[in-house]
Amino acid sequence: MPKNKILILFSHPLFEKSHANKALVENIPNSENITFHDLYEEYPDFDIDVKREQALLSEHDIIIWHHPMYWYSCPPLMKQWIDMVLEYNWAYGKKGKALQDKIIFQVITTGGDKENYCETGSHRYSILELLEPFNQTAKVCNMLYLPPFVVHGTHNMTQEDYSKNGIVYGYFLDYLENNIIDSEGILQYHYLNEWFATIQV
């Protein structure tokens, strides 16, 4: 079976201070089929090379927006990436079929606990509700948007907790690279890591 090619679009303006994201990134498998693309490293001046980014997207089957939750959205460079790279008649519109049927989802880190992301919690909305603009963006671009892989409670984690999450992320990416993705089964879950926990049993 041909392997899936995965593009990780990583966006974190304070990556050097993030223990959680460091653990995740350190566990990304070393594979020719997985491309780790650090947007803040590549574009410190926010001068995005649109054609280069579009070429990268075209070369991969699975796209991951990997970022911390910043005020219920993504960091500014990722928003600029979305605004500039997903061009009319390339990503969407009558002639915009370049991303059709590609899989996309988010890997999110957040200091908030899961129980706080609900109608009665301090954040009032679920993670899925807060990410709905990304879901709609993917749909307009004819992509298949999957639930996010979410690491909650990062502010209260021990080093062991960071490491455990990183290891799971590494196994998860390895699985995505080497298996057919059951999108219908995945869509029954709120989080990708919840789905992945069931297939590891």
Averaged pLDDT for residues 137-161: 93
Q: Which residues are 68's β-sheet partners?
A: 109
pTM to 2 decimal places: 0.95
Q: What percent of the chain has pLDDT over 70?
A: 99
Question: Alpha-carbon dihedral of residues 163, 166, 168, 173, nearest 10 degrees?
Answer: -160
Kindly provide the residue ranges of all beta strands, DSSP E only, lying in 100-182, ordered along the sequence.
103-109, 144-145, 149-151
Sorting pLDDT into bands at 50, 70 and 90, what band is 178?
A: very high
CA distance 133 to 108: 15
Kindly provide the residue ranges of all beta strands, DSSP E only, lying in the chain, ordered along the sequence.
6-10, 34-38, 62-68, 103-109, 144-145, 149-151
pLDDT at position 1 is: 67
In the predicted model, is pLDDT for residue 156 greater than 90? no
Q: Where are the domains of the chain?
A: 6-199
SS3 of residue 72 by DSSP: coil
Return the closest-CA partner of residue 82 out of 18, 9, 175: 9
List, for residues 49-63, the tens digit of each pLDDT value.
999 999 999 999 999
CA distance 54 to 19: 30
Q: What is the largest CA-CA distance in the chain?
A: 50
The one-character DSSP state at 66 is E
The fold for domain 6-199 equals: Rossmann fold (3.40.50)
CA distance 158 to 160: 5
pLDDT at position 197 is: 92
Terminal Cα-to-Cα distance of the chain (whole angstroms): 23
The letter for the amino acid at 76 is P
List, for residues 61-99, the tens digit of each pLDDT value.
999 999 999 999 999 999 999 999 999 999 999 999 999
CB atoms within 10 A of CB 92: 20
Sorting pLDDT into bands at 50, 70 and 90, what band is 200?
A: low
In the predicted model, is pLDDT for residue 194 greater than 80? yes
List, for residues 9-60, the tens digit of each pLDDT value.
999 998 887 889 999 999 999 999 999 999 999 999 999 999 999 999 999 9
Return the closest-CA partner of residue 6 out of 146, 77, 148, 104: 104
Q: Which residues are 36's β-sheet partners?
A: 8
